[in-house]
Chain A
């Protein structure tokens, strides 16, 4: 497709289970971001990938959260031993321009994955 694709769109899980959220960015976009949005709140930065550089993981809230980006394209966000406070919408965005040289470009967002931890 032409846009950023995220799956699943909705995920309900039990506390303590692991979940994987997937993001397919727009083809050719070198930068990929994960954000978390709690109900009625702003976006909380989680992690940023840019090309082959080491990812910026400074926003990951705990070591239960991890993410990888394979082949510079698809990314997977994994949350281990989920907790109720992990319930949120997880948004992925990609951009054709990375932050190298201080140029933050326009982000293209997916529709998000809504995670509910019971």
Chain B
């Protein structure tokens, strides 16, 4: 299975701190995506990193990809209470997009 697995399962930090979430997967991929889900809502796409890229930035988000270790990390800098949500990685190859179980991030004001 290409399923990504995030860790930690839950993360609680103070506003202003950085949050790092990790994703590991099992087989080769064409790209890896990160999504965010607020409680009771649908998922929102955050960033896509292709297999030939090592790092990508978008605002306060930084994503890295290490294909040799089959892992990715999502860093949220200077976190805000509004960043409180669940974060999922999704891996896509030549098959369907498969999601992990997510990291639940709580940012305390």
For chain A, give the interface size range. Answer: 20 to 34
Bound-complex Cα distance A108 to B45 (A): 7
Given A42-B101, A104-B30, also A99-B42 (CB < 8 A): no
Instruction: Tell me, yes or no, whether A43 is within 8 Å of chain B by CB.
Output: yes
Contact B96 A91 (CB under 8 A): no
A110 interface contact, C-beta 8 A: yes
Total of A-B residue pairs, C-beta within 8 Å: 64
Question: CB of B43 within 8 A of chain A?
Answer: yes
Residues of chain A contacted by B93 (CB below 8 angstroms)? 102, 104
Establish whether residues B30 and A102, one from each chain, have CB atoms under 8 Å apart when the complex forms. yes
Q: Is the CB of A99 within 8 A of B45?
A: no
Contact B30 A103 (CB under 8 A): yes
A59 to B1 alpha-carbon distance, docked (Å): 12
Q: Size of chain B's interface in residues, with CB distance under 8 A?
A: 23
Are the C-beta atoms of A107 and B43 separated by less than 8 Å?
yes
A102 to B92, CA, bound (A): 8
A42 to B99, CA, bound (A): 7
Q: In angstroms, how far is the closest chain B Cβ from the Cβ of A23? A: 11
Taking a contact as CB atoms under 8 Å apart, the answer to whether B43 and A59 are in contact is no
Interface residues, chain A, CB within 8 Å of chain B?
Answer: 4, 33, 35, 41-43, 45, 48, 56, 58-59, 91, 93, 99, 102-112
Interface on B for A, CB 8 Å cutoff?
A: 30-31, 33, 35, 41-45, 48, 88, 90, 92-102
Given A102-B93, A107-B35, A107-B90, 8 more A-B residue pairs with CB atoms under 8 Å apart are A4-B42, A42-B88, A59-B96, A91-B42, A103-B31, A104-B31, A107-B33, A112-B41
